[in-house]
Amino acid sequence: MSEIKFDLKGIGEVIKTNTLKVPIYQRSFAWGKKEVIELFDDIKESINEDEYFLGTIVLTKNKGDSRLEIIDGQQRISTIVIFFAALKGYIDDTKGKESIQLDYLSCYELEAQENIPKLELNMQDNEFYREFIVNEKENYPAKRDSHLRIKSTFEGAKKLISGLLESNNQDPHVLYDWKKFIDEKLKVILIIVPSNANAFTIFETLNDRGIELAQLDLLKNYLYSKAGTRIEDAQNFWIELTSKIESVVDESLILTYIKHYWSSQHGLTREKNKELYNSIKNEIRNPTQSVTLINNLKNDADLYISILNHNSLYWKDFDNKCKEYIETLNYFGLEQYRPLLLSILKKFEKDEVKKSLKLIISWLVRNLIVGAMGGGTLEKTYADKAKDIFDKKIKKATELRESLKGIIPQDKDFKEQFLLATVSKHKLARYYLSAIENFHRGKENPELLVNIDTDSVNLEHILPQKPEDNWPNFTEEDIITYGRRIGNLTLMNTKENNDFKSSKFIDKKKKYKESDLWITNSLYEHDKWTKEKIVQRQEELSELAVKTWSLKFD
């Protein structure tokens, strides 16, 4: 370790005196507007100080490579380089522009006959960065979220510079002051380590933070470090993995997917306190294990994406009900069940998948109403059952249901809790009422999602949330106690619902009679609306709820 070099330098000087690149194990450009603005604000507030400390930058020098690799500091270095690219556009002097181009952006290589950037980003970002930032092609297409962040940072830098000029009577010297401050006084501790072997270790040590993206970086770094001579395979599989996820959802879901994948095979493993990272680190020790894990993650990403998207082509060979079950599950906006569903899709036959999806929905709804299991306990149970399925201890939906007898609220408990249930989330209430309506109509699989778009169907509080003077028989305490009870809720056409929210019951029920929904037009039978009526109606709905979210498969 004696070869490690330490220095205290201005970050601008670090960029000017080196050619740099982001190594393969580093993430794409990740700073959003918040982080970029914070950096610019720090500089603005410190511009008259002797110096401002920006943290540590760690670089490594590999034999045969003229560029230094950035182990830690990619986001800060990239943002400063992008700032100088924006600054260049506000410099009128031709030599000044050339100076910025050569110092911070690129130099022209005669043999290659092109500008060679001083900073090289990772494989996913480099082409866009080179063309949009270095070569100033404003219309170059952004194909990834990270490209949009690079573009946003550039626009943010231009806005900052324009504001500086405007507040200083267009005096260009304010820009020269910023340039000098960044070169000389925006200080970093520069650490240069001699080889990749040390680089992986130091990266892990310096990034010992609790934030989500840092853990993903650590995980990728560790798997690459264990890939040995198969590093290229690991890199290619990882890029395929991230490309699959990012093509459908935000890149922040990559770590969530890895957590769910790992939990489905090893039991619940959380991100908190780097539990996921440490668990994988304890299991993966050699190149074969590392590359195999990344390859499996890449392959099973298609299964995970199908869980998130009911329109995925994956579902074309399944009963159409499976697509509808997936759409219904995603309506709830929950994720704890995904490890279980991953194992089901990997191990169960198609018909068993359909039965299991129905079971999961009934389990989910029954638990929401009963609340017998907290989120953490429920998450652990899903993961435990996922592992049992992966280990082939559970092979069919009936076996899964049997294993959950003491966990899923049974009919008696579910009905008793439904009798007292209040619902504060309108989204859930609309679903509950719609599903019960479906059951009453005799619809097969009533628990499946129907059209409950708020543009067409809205939640109606029979006893209004703000009754004004039209409901004298209810006290303020009654409104709090009974207003959100399921027995006091129904569904209405959105416009009609908005027209008479606080009207008297005698006026409301005339509109209820016109509804095509049984759950609403049946209210016309009541001559008045009281606390007793709410309790009575909720008891009737509880009978239907038990059958709507049945635990039977036929």
pLDDT above 70: residue 197: no
pLDDT above 50: residue 303: yes
Phi-psi region of 146 (alpha: psi -120 to 50; beta: other; left: phi over 0): alpha
* pLDDT tens for each residue of 407-465: 999 999 999 999 999 999 999 999 999 999 999 998 888 888 766 665 667 889 999 98
Stronger pLDDT, 204 or 163, i.e. the higher one: 163
**Domain extent listing, the chain:** 5-206, 207-300, 309-408, 417-548
Token pair 């008793």 is found at 416
Q: What is the mean pLDDT of residues 334-351?
A: 96
CB 515 within 8 A of CB 451: no
User: How far, in Å, CA of 42 to CA of 30, rounded?
Assistant: 19
Q: Report the chain's mean pLDDT, rounded to a whole number.
A: 89
User: How far, in Å, CA of 303 to CA of 300, rounded?
Assistant: 5
- pLDDT score recorded for residue 509: 86
CB 248 within 8 A of CB 308: yes
CA distances from 277 to 201, 313, 413 (A): 14, 32, 39
Confidence class for position 199, pLDDT limits 50, 70, 90: low
User: How far, in Å, CA of 383 to CA of 369, rounded?
Assistant: 21
Q: What is the mean pLDDT of residues 207-213?
A: 43
Confidence class for position 196, pLDDT limits 50, 70, 90: low
Confidence class for position 2, pLDDT limits 50, 70, 90: very low
Q: What is the mean pLDDT of residues 529-534?
A: 94
CA proximity to 204, closest of 26, 6, 5, 18: 26
- pLDDT score recorded for residue 203: 62
User: How far, in Å, CA of 296 to CA of 258, rounded?
Assistant: 11
* pLDDT tens for each residue of 493-511: 766 555 566 788 888 888 8
* pLDDT tens for each residue of 66-107: 889 898 889 999 999 999 999 999 998 889 899 999 999 998
What's the predicted TM-score (pTM) here? 0.75
pLDDT above 70: residue 201: no
Q: Helices (DSSP H) in 185-230: which residue ranges?
A: 196-206, 212-227
Confidence class for position 230, pLDDT limits 50, 70, 90: very high
User: In the beta sheet, which residues pair with residue 458?
Assistant: 492
Stronger pLDDT, 338 or 406, i.e. the higher one: 338
Q: What is the mean pLDDT of residues 114-143?
A: 91
Indicate the DSSP class of residue 90: T
User: How far, in Å, CA of 358 to CA of 445, rounded?
Assistant: 8
User: How far, in Å, CA of 70 to CA of 156, rounded?
Assistant: 24
Stronger pLDDT, 24 or 124, i.e. the higher one: 124
Burial of 141-177, coded b for 16+ CB within 10 Å and e otherwise, reads eeebbbbebbbbbbebbbebbeebeeeeeeeeebbee
Torsion of CA 525, 528, 532, 537, to 10 degrees: 30
CA proximity to 77, closest of 60, 90, 63, 59: 59
User: How far, in Å, CA of 498 to CA of 324, rounded?
Assistant: 30
Chain centroid offset of residue 518 CA: 39
State the burial class of residue 102 (Cβ atoms within 10 Å of its Cβ: 0-12, 13-18, 19+): middle
CA proximity to 244, closest of 291, 306, 290: 306
Confidence class for position 222, pLDDT limits 50, 70, 90: confident
> How many beta carbons lie within 10 A of that of residue 546, not counting itself?
17
- pLDDT score recorded for residue 1: 43
pLDDT above 90: residue 225: no
User: In whole angstroms, how large is the CA radius of gyration of the chain?
Assistant: 30
User: How far, in Å, CA of 234 to CA of 223, rounded?
Assistant: 8
Please enumerate in sequence order all residues whose Cβ is within 8 A of that of 261, keeping only pairs 6 or more positions apart, or say none: 296, 297, 300, 304, 339, 342
Q: What is the mean pLDDT of residues 169-187?
A: 94
* pLDDT tens for each residue of 18-59: 999 998 767 789 899 999 999 999 999 999 888 999 988 888
Stronger pLDDT, 470 or 41, i.e. the higher one: 41
CB 214 within 8 A of CB 76: no
